[in-house]
Amino acid sequence: MSNKEEFATVLDFLQNGYPFDKRPAHRKLPIAQALGKQTLVLLELVPKKDCFLQPLEEVYIGEGKRDKIHHIVARLLYDKLTETAKNELGFVIEDIVLKNEARFVEFFNKAGAVNTRVHQLELLPGIGKKHMGSILERREEKEFENFEDIRKRVSLLPDPEKAIVKRILLELQGNEKHMLFVKNSY
């Protein structure tokens, strides 16, 4: 998997730039705040002239000819997101997790130890030592096929999709020591 994003989902579009930007209006650039679909990094994008973007719109940001995005400004910190972007983020992450179910189910099948005391599975919200043990036993018998299979075979497990969505949100907020899903560099 490449470290460069091909597509991003727009979280918010600021047609007149950031309101706190002190430059004169004619010097401000329109800004889109977006989430990369593969690396799950927050990005600040500048659209092409006279291009209006909608929240939840998917845009191409890869190396080829871009139809709507002029350039990527930088990676964005969670604290710099607008309230609209923060509100949309959970829905966008959930959509990515559901549309890429195989990728995230593979995490349950392949996750290993972080160190001698902590396992990657335990870093998911709601999963402790008992659930981790059950997951490891069940995947030893046969790899999980989908989220439904995980729910059926591991009793009393919190919803695996929601646990992954919550974990990705925590990683984007920047307080996690270990990154399971969000790539550290762009």
Distance CA 71, CA 87 (A): 24
Q: What is the full per-residue pLDDT of the chain (186 aa) written as tens digits?
A: 456 789 999 999 999 888 887 787 777 889 999 999 999 999 999 999 989 999 999 999 999 899 999 999 999 999 999 999 999 999 999 999 999 999 999 999 999 999 999 999 999 999 999 999 999 999 999 999 999 999 999 989 989 999 999 999 999 999 899 999 998 654
Distance CA 130, CA 59 (A): 42
Q: Fold identical between 7-81 and 100-172? A: no
Q: Are 53 and 68 in contact (CB under 8 A)?
A: yes
Distance CA 176, CA 172 (A): 9
pLDDT of residue 24: 79
Q: Which CATH architecture has domain 7-81?
A: Beta Barrel (2.40)
What's the predicted TM-score (pTM) here?
A: 0.91
pLDDT of residue 1: 42
The number of CA neighbours under 13 Å toward the Cβ of 118 is 8
- How long is the chain? 186
pLDDT of residue 186: 45
Every domain of the chain and the residues it spans = 7-81, 100-172
pLDDT of residue 185: 53
pLDDT of residue 51: 93
The kind and range of the H/E element at 9 are strand 7-14
Task: Say which CATH superfamily domain 100-172 falls into.
Answer: AF1531-like domain (1.10.150.280)
